[in-house]
Chains A and B, each alone.
Chain A
Amino acid sequence: MTKAEWDAAAAAHVLGRVGFGADRERVARAVDEGFEATLAEVESRRAHPRALTSKSVERLVSLGELEPLRARWMALILADGAPLVERASLMWHGHFATSNAKVDDVRLMHRQNELFRSAGLGDFRTLLHAVAKDPAMLVWLDGDRNRVGAPNENFAREVMELFALGVGAGYTEQDIAEAARAFTGWSVTKRRFVDRTEYHDRGEKTLFGRGGVQRGEDAIDRVLEHPECPRWIARRLLVTFVEPEPNRAEIDRWSRVLVSEDWHVGRTLARIFRDERFLDPEVRRNRISGPVETIARTALATGASVAPADAARAAVEMGQALFEPPTVKGWDGGRAWIDTGTWLARHNHLARFALEGPFDPVRAFGDVPRSEIARAVGELLLPDGVDADLAAALERAAREASTSDDAARAATALALTAPEFHLA
């Protein structure tokens, strides 16, 4: 890493990819402190506000409502106390895409969410085993209906297709049926995982051409031994943190790292972040940012205090209802984030945020002279630079406003609703 490459744009990229973004002062400090110090700090920050992790959260969950739960997650993200933990939790929520629309029990959803928070940066094998026995997951994919003689293949199919191997990646319908037999008897009673042995299919199962699988744990282990598994997980990490369409060579390379790091997600990510490609201009602003990410980085960049419940509701309107992913596949992401309805929701939320919302121009940009406002807006919100058209548009919007507060708001509204801002 040469010093010349380490500028505000690069710093904003690191702070916005590993975490959810940072304000003007943090970016400036990062430029001073250098790449490694900045990365190490944002990677290792683990200081969630106490009120959001204390016993009162359990009491909040006991209300039995989904909205407070959504707001609390949004609050953890906006508080920015443990950015990488929340990024990883959001990733696993999309990966294991469990929806309360079917589970209908916020306590179970909360418990799964806490599982991602506590185990999401650890050993993926441990995580997969835990998710397989997670009560919300068992209800979501009908594990609780899977019994000997009347197998339900829902979970077995998704373990291979979505959670560990990828669509059609080296398994057959027969493998799914065999795995489903191994999972028979795994159920939920009183919100707890139970292994109801009376419903377990005691026959031997053959998975990927090899026998010796008895129980559900064996099936998970066998899936984890499948050569496609590290590739699928490496791919998930790269898609989330580096680029939307990683090539096969990149996937192979990082799947080997994952295995050599003993499947440790946090350590694998640490190496991905320190790889040359992570700072490559080619992978910066190369993905359409999702609703939660868009809302969070807007708030964090400007230092505005957004009510978490409002932020969560805005995300729902933009097409990302936390705890209610649309299908077992989770959110498709990328261009699927954007349609007429969701673009208008983005536009309206961000325009209102800038023009009349909690946004405070002085907090965001400092005390800049009016003539400098457009430039300051561009630097903060589009640190990789703005083209001449956008720069001129920001200038005009600022110039035509009547006060300097209005000027900053107009330019910010324009920058936030510019298509460029939605690449991150």
Chain B
Amino acid sequence: MWIATLCLAALPQSPHTEDLSRAAPERTIFWLQTTELAPVLDEGLDHPLVRRVLDHPLVREDLQAKGQHPEAALAFVEALIGESPLELAAALSRRGVGVGLLPGSETEPRAFVAMRGANLDSMEEAIDVIAAAAATFGGLEALPEAARKELGPRVRSAWSIDDDGAEAALSEDGTLFLAARHDDLREATTGSGRAIELRAARRALGQGSTFAWVDLDAFEETGALDELRQAVEEPATHFVFGPVVAYGTAAGSLAIGVEFGESGLTVRSLASGEVDEFGAATFPSEKGSAARLPLPSDDEVARAVLHRDVATLLAQRTSLFPPRSQPAISEGLANFALLVGGPDAVDELFASLEPEIVLLAEHVPFEAKAVPDIELPAACIVARLRNPEVNGPRVVGAFQSLIALQNVQRAQEGKPGLVLGLAPLEGTTMTTAHLPPPSEGDGVDLAYNVAPGCAVVGDSVVLATHHALASRVATRIARGETGAASGGAVDQLWMRADAVEALVAENRDLIELQSVLEDGKTEARARMEVDLLLELLGSIGTIEMTTSGGSGSPLEARLRIEWAQ
């Protein structure tokens, strides 16, 4: 096997596609490599992003408080070694830098570093500078010949770094390896099975400039992932986060690739491992089963199309979820049965539910008398039913019963009940509920954001936290103003950063006040932090998240951030 690795490694590669991951030692449990560092180091503190960060009042305040002065620190090091430390670092990482973690002896993991310069000459030059600086502390000591030979024919020089066994080696392709142990170094320079695994993962991701990989199984042994590992057994993970996330938490390893581009940033993550047959049934069975999606409006904040096969999840519940979860599910179903008119009705209703569910968030106009002090966008869920004439009324009935139930509770607490209403809508009727108008002159509580509406239009159930949105969406569906979501994905989620930015901007006084009260920040500091958040959101156009996989293909989550135009 390792001969194959050597052969692969020996193949000539262009500087940009050349893969540092082949340097990973055998027991690597975490790996991170990037070629993005050198360009930043080249410009040093004058890099526009670095400059912007350092000049930010928040950062300046922090650095000042800690008594740190980056410029002075760099100048100090430069005086010491006779060369700019940033330039030196850039030279060392011209073709990339990789960092690995290996299980350490005790609690601390062992680190491993690989740096690749432009070529052997430039690396040797840089190492000479370091060696000269190190001379004042005793210098670098070359490894004995026998030890160096163990590192394979491609290693030109090797040094012992400290008394604890750390070593460094320079290979003929201009890669500098730093390892805490001789064995790690040998595996890195002569090849390991782990390196092959990593390269395969990296290829699957499509060779972005930055790549990370984590061995979840290894971390599981440390107990650090207990909660994550239990998530796949939690019904909530499946119903809320969907099948890809649920089974992703059970993956053996996770590979992550980041691609920076002019127009945006893409992060892809691939999970290894298989989904069992019960779980597989909760993924979309055929690709391209497109959901009907109401067309977006200007008030839109976010939208999502999610694959939640509720009927299958419930039908398979005894296989999918552990016994401890069963009573809660049964209780939930029994309660729901009370709302829709019996257990049979529940079964029929869920069986008729299309697994593609659409979620929307939009700004809605509130009635002048009941504009909440903290105005939140309304959220709407759209689901399609296979047998709407029977199941539609069941949903509406359940909605009405739920409101009635709320009112029983509210009455016990001495609070006014929600007012139920009916409104005609595109040939159907929408059921609405709202709190009685707030008293004049008072502020309007957060609760006034909830004034739900529910309607069945054709085969679509529309349920929204605010009836204005329910009505808007139902109208669009009734008039056929719909498009189709692109197929192939399990879940898709879009978010408009400017809408989130507007939300933060509208509520910034409250966000700042909370950070003054909760974190003890000064008003000025809280204001700067919100400014920074707004600046960040302002630089983003849209955020899109997609998950895919199942039925044979690997589980993938993809995040795409488009910069603002």
Contact = CB atoms under 8 A, between A and B. Distances in A.
Task: Tell whether A pairs with B.
Answer: yes
B510 A51 contact: no
A52 B523 CA distance: 10
B520 A358 contact: yes
A344 B420 CA distance: 52
A190 B443 CA distance: 12
A64 B513 contact: no
A306 B445 CA distance: 29
A310 B521 CA distance: 12
Contacts of A49: 523
Contact of B516 (A58, A61, A75, A107): A75
B512 interface: yes
A226 to B, nearest CB: 34
Interface residues of A, number: 30
A133 to B, nearest CB: 15
Given A307-B518, A307-B520, A358-B520, A58 B373 contact: yes
B236 to A, nearest CB: 24
Nearest to B519: A307
A191 B442 contact: yes
A79 to B, nearest CB: 9
B446 A63 contact: yes
B444 A62 contact: yes
A198 B68 CA distance: 73
Contacts of B519: 307
Interface string A34-53: 00000000000000010110
Contacts of A72: 513, 517
A59 interface: yes
Contact of A57 (B372, B438, B513, B522): B513
Interface in B393-445: 413, 438-439, 442-445
A68 interface: yes
Nearest to B413: A104
A306 B442 CA distance: 31
Contact of A51 (B438, B439, B518, B523): B523
A86 to B, nearest CB: 15
Contact of B518 (A61, A62, A192, A309): A309
A409 to B, nearest CB: 18
Contacts of A68: 514, 517
Given A59-B509, A305-B522, A64 B446 contact: yes
Interface in B510-545: 510, 512-514, 516-520, 522-523
A174 interface: no
A54 B413 CA distance: 31
A308 B442 contact: no
A71 interface: yes
A308 B517 contact: yes
A210 interface: no
A51 B518 CA distance: 14
A310 B520 contact: yes
A363 to B, nearest CB: 12
B517 A59 contact: no
Q: Which 7 pairs show the lowest CB-CB distances between chains A and B?
A: A307-B520, A56-B509, A62-B373, A190-B439, A71-B517, A59-B373, A58-B443
Given A60-B514, A62-B445, 20 more contacts: A51-B512, A52-B516, A54-B509, A56-B510, A59-B373, A63-B445, A64-B446, A64-B447, A71-B518, A72-B513, A72-B517, A75-B516, A107-B443, A107-B445, A190-B439, A191-B442, A192-B439, A305-B522, A308-B516, A308-B520
Interface of A: 49, 51-52, 54-64, 68, 71-72, 75, 104, 107, 190-192, 305-310, 358
18 contacts: A52-B513, A55-B509, A56-B513, A58-B443, A59-B507, A59-B510, A60-B514, A64-B447, A71-B517, A75-B517, A191-B439, A192-B439, A305-B522, A307-B519, A308-B518, A308-B520, A309-B518, A358-B520
